[in-house]
Amino acid sequence: MKINDLDLNSLLAKSVRESVSANVPKVVSEAYVAEPKSFKQVTEFVSQKSKDLHTDLYKGYVESLNNVSAKLDTANKSASNPRHSEFRSLKLDEAYNLNAVWLHELFFANCFDPNSQITMDSLSYLKLQRDFGTFDDWQKDFMAVAMAAGNGWVVCGYHTFLRRYVNMIVSHHSGDVMLGVFPVVVLDMWEHSYTRDYLGDKKNYLMAQMKEFNWSVIEDRFKRAEAIAGAVKS
Amino acid sequence: MKINDLDLNSLLAKSVRESVSANVPKVVSEAYVAEPKSFKQVTEFVSQKSKDLHTDLYKGYVESLNNVSAKLDTANKSASNPRHSEFRSLKLDEAYNLNAVWLHELFFANCFDPNSQITMDSLSYLKLQRDFGTFDDWQKDFMAVAMAAGNGWVVCGYHTFLRRYVNMIVSHHSGDVMLGVFPVVVLDMWEHSYTRDYLGDKKNYLMAQMKEFNWSVIEDRFKRAEAIAGAVKS
Amino acid sequence: MKINDLDLNSLLAKSVRESVSANVPKVVSEAYVAEPKSFKQVTEFVSQKSKDLHTDLYKGYVESLNNVSAKLDTANKSASNPRHSEFRSLKLDEAYNLNAVWLHELFFANCFDPNSQITMDSLSYLKLQRDFGTFDDWQKDFMAVAMAAGNGWVVCGYHTFLRRYVNMIVSHHSGDVMLGVFPVVVLDMWEHSYTRDYLGDKKNYLMAQMKEFNWSVIEDRFKRAEAIAGAVKS
Amino acid sequence: MKINDLDLNSLLAKSVRESVSANVPKVVSEAYVAEPKSFKQVTEFVSQKSKDLHTDLYKGYVESLNNVSAKLDTANKSASNPRHSEFRSLKLDEAYNLNAVWLHELFFANCFDPNSQITMDSLSYLKLQRDFGTFDDWQKDFMAVAMAAGNGWVVCGYHTFLRRYVNMIVSHHSGDVMLGVFPVVVLDMWEHSYTRDYLGDKKNYLMAQMKEFNWSVIEDRFKRAEAIAGAVKS
């Protein structure tokens, strides 16, 4: 069969799909509905006003995500194109708001622990040491990525292709993202996170957050990441 | 402790890290070195010239990734900032080239199977049916995402937060990317993939590629994805 | 007046506007309707198939721009937000398609002149020499910007803030764009421009296009640019 | 002459340029050096801390722009490529920082006038009325664009292709930018502009700034814009 011999009307694996279509009830909706979760932001490093602002912004993303998800359910897929189409706009906004929701939840959960403690025999400690040389080197790299991020995020996660932990920038919520990274440590570097309390002193904000990382929450994520690592290798 | 009481010179978890720094040999380099792999592009739907072009582009990304990775090893992390810094530029180019390399390898491996066959009892079939209603609905959604992608990719993968398979746009190599997705089906929608053989007939290119998906390769990825699904839930 | 003393209901310059609103007939539509223009692509450096492809792509942008422009006329402005709103999506697509249309028209008009000739006493020559050292230096810089551009454009134009000519990248159609530049020389570096005829040999395509720049068309633009320069300085 | 008959070594318009190269002294540097300007931010709608923060950020961009501009002077142009090259990174950072400097200067100059006044016979008023229906309609559109902008800018300017005034989003400093727009009214919508004083109440910040637009400064820009309009038409 040569190029251009394709019959556009011949459906792929047609017979298989037809027999299935007959038997499987059509799913009415693929939309996922998210509910905003509650997070204790027990810290003196962030003012109550900033905490409330941040919670409101997070709720806004949950609401937008639900809107986008519902609209995707009925969007016209056959009119999809890269210049201007409802489907394209919705897919871009889906990635943006979905990441925003998840990143905020990861961030709220792994920060604000006044009793922050990491032990040398934890998975967190050992894996970061393995992949960055020392825990200190990981911290320095994490800080450098945070300082480079602009309005965005610094994310440490397990890279399922490199099979190691990496620190990465996320620009805004969905820009410059490494594919296939399972996040373990997340810090918000958008200006709304620190301007109220630290003005332009981003470094002080960063240090304060890192002093209060909840290593117990993070350790749970490392356990999952290591299970993922096992799954990937198998 | 109040905001601004932070001592910038007090290192985080200082004592722990110092004891470690003394004992652990400093890793000299974190740079990962990638070698371009070989892929058989056994298909009549793509001309030999396009195949060679694509292989060359892929090799260029491997070379750039190695350059970036080596430079990151000695980049000045303390000068990192979001306006203009070597570290930021390198981190952006790292995400761009790393994704480019991985996406091309995933694409080359899961395409170009003239004997393409999917069975109804495969994980691929059953999971896509579960998450999209029918296999046909998945195909339609995948095609719509592909048509929306512009110069970029369409990626189907397991979303570790949503705990289901999703189809997503990847703009260029690192834009508009959903975080935490383990890829199972990947198709290149950059113009270099189809302009030589299909000119502007993107849909015909897309149909041709989908007719030759290597479901055996994809099934292996679904197995890993399902193992990841198990790891995430645990 | 202190912060937060603002009365959100007090309209700005209210009395003035009300008296006007009474007298001025409401404009029904701001939508601009563009018609695709015709361009002779008299060149042997580009195949007829590539020419036709390019013309079709251009027409697609004109059509999308008209769609976007019409929708903007009735879009809900009060629901505008940066997370997900029809107005935001339309404004982004407006910039994208409007630039695409204009850039293609500039490109089609300033390329494909087999009798390409530039004289040393032309404005084009003298101004580029003034701002880049020599005409040759301008050419080298233009080529370097073209090679850096990825899927996008290289644009030479008069920068109304710097008050000189600059070469700039335009990523895709609206990314990484310098504000306030009046374009004089435009070259398409998207892969659809050269993949059919040059495969990955972007440099050969670039040289071919530069050999055929229509300096007569460009000279007219320089005359306007110089008039703009005068207007800016006044 | 056919495609691929190009002699890559034959320089364009070679004889012309050589004779010139011999006579014209090579310009040593194209780098432009910017000095930060001083702006009075006479307003009670913004706290002194926010004013100082904003001034510092602006100075940071001036410094980065000067660094980028100096490096461009000696960057390796022949190694330019879109995957990873110093020249590409510098050109992207040039557009980013140059826009940042100019936009901040435009913003500082056209805001913070406690005696803000616009007259119905001003160019500003008449042209906005002409292009948006009523001055009120322009204000509503400007506000909608501002609310859509995210971390970025709302810019009103004269579009030299459309030959009318438009309101546009600028994402960050150089994203989603309409080509060829001469700016007349500029408002900063980055979170650093309002988070300290307004937290998430972006609309209140926006209203406050619009109440204090310096229409005298803006009128001067409209005069230039109208002179540009004349230059473009001629």
Least confident among A2-11, A45-54, B107-116, D220-229: A2-11
Tens of pLDDT, residue by residue over A66-101, are: 999 999 999 999 999 999 999 999 999 999 999 999
Which residues lie closer than 8 Å to D54 by C-beta, 6 or more apart? D41, D104, D108, D188, D192, D193
For chain A, state the CA radius of gyration: 22
Do the Cβ atoms of B57 and C200 come within 8 Å?
yes
Q: Does B148 touch chain C (CB under 8 A)?
A: no
Residue of A150, A172, A192 with shortest CB distance to D195 = A192
User: Which pair of tokens denotes residue C89?
Assistant: 């999506």
Tens of pLDDT, residue by residue over C92-112, are: 999 999 999 999 999 999 999
Identify the band that residue D27 occupies on the pLDDT scale cut at 50, 70 and 90: very low
| Predicted pLDDT of residue C29 | 58
| Predicted pLDDT of residue D192 | 98
Tens of pLDDT, residue by residue over C149-202, are: 999 999 999 999 999 999 999 999 999 999 999 999 999 999 999 999 999 999
| Predicted pLDDT of residue D34 | 83
**Residue D112: left (phi > 0), alpha (psi -120 to 50), or beta?**
left
> How big is chain A, counted in residues?
234
User: Which pair of tokens denotes residue A73?
Assistant: 């359910």
- The mean pLDDT of chain D is 89
| Predicted pLDDT of residue C21 | 42
- The mean pLDDT of chain B is 89
- Contact in structure between C84 and C90 (CB atoms under 8 Å): no
User: Which pair of tokens denotes residue C142?
Assistant: 């233009």
Least confident among A33-42, A106-115, A144-153, B30-39: B30-39
**Could you tell me the CA-to-CA distances from C129 to A147, C160, D141 in Å, in that order?**
40, 18, 42
All partners of chain B with 3 or more CB pairs under 8 angstroms: A, C, D
User: Which pair of tokens denotes residue C46?
Assistant: 């580009």
SS3 at position A69: helix
| Predicted pLDDT of residue C39 | 94
Q: Is the dihedral of CA B148, B154, B156, B157 positive or negative?
A: negative
| Predicted pLDDT of residue D86 | 98
The shortest C-alpha distance from A177 to chain C (Å) reads 17
pLDDT at B213 over 50: yes
| Predicted pLDDT of residue C31 | 74
H runs (alpha helix) in A26-110:
48-72, 86-110
Distance CA(C170)–CA(C156), nearest Å, equals: 10
**Could you report how far apart the first and last alpha carbons of chain C are, in Å?**
37
Q: Which residues of C touch B56 (CB under 8 A)?
A: 200
Residues 182-211 of A with CB under 8 A from B: 182-183, 197-198, 203-204, 207-208, 210-211
pLDDT at B1 over 60: no
Distance CA(B175)–CA(C177), nearest Å, equals: 17
State percent of chain D over pLDDT 70: 87
Disruptive mutation site among D104, D199, D204 for chain A (greatest number of A CBs within 10 Å):
D199
Least confident among A176-180, B62-66, C41-45, D62-66: C41-45
- Contact in structure between D70 and D45 (CB atoms under 8 Å): no
Do the Cβ atoms of C132 and D27 come within 8 Å?
yes
- The mean pLDDT of chain C is 89
**Could you report how far apart the first and last alpha carbons of chain B are, in Å?**
37
State percent of chain D over pLDDT 90: 83
Q: Which residues of C touch D127 (CB under 8 A)?
A: none
Distance CA(A80)–CA(C54), nearest Å, equals: 20
Do the Cβ atoms of D191 and A196 come within 8 Å?
no
Identify the band that residue C30 occupies on the pLDDT scale cut at 50, 70 and 90: low
Tens of pLDDT, residue by residue over A152-184, are: 999 999 999 999 999 999 999 999 999 999 999
Torsion, Cα B216 B218 B223 B226, to 10 degrees, reads -150
**Could you tell me the CA-to-CA distances from A110 to A147, A166, B91, B210 in Å, in that order?**
19, 17, 24, 41
Identify the band that residue D32 occupies on the pLDDT scale cut at 50, 70 and 90: confident
**Could you tell me the CA-to-CA distances from A55 to A217, C107, C135, D200, D202 in Å, in that order?**
20, 48, 57, 11, 16
**Residue B64: left (phi > 0), alpha (psi -120 to 50), or beta?**
alpha
Q: Which residues of A touch C100 (CB under 8 A)?
A: 83
Do the Cβ atoms of D83 and B89 come within 8 Å?
no
Q: Does B57 touch chain C (CB under 8 A)?
A: yes
**Which of these, B210, B112, D148, lies nearest to C76 by C-alpha position?**
D148
What value of ipTM does the predicted structure carry? 0.90
Do the Cβ atoms of B172 and C150 come within 8 Å?
yes
**Backbone phi, then psi, for C75, in 5-degree steps?**
-65, 150
Q: Does B161 touch chain A (CB under 8 A)?
A: yes
| Predicted pLDDT of residue D65 | 97
Residue of C60, C84, C100 with shortest CB distance to A67 = C84
pTM of the predicted model as reported, rounded to 2 decimal places: 0.91
**Which of these, B127, B163, C79, C88, lies nearest to A92 by C-alpha position?**
C88
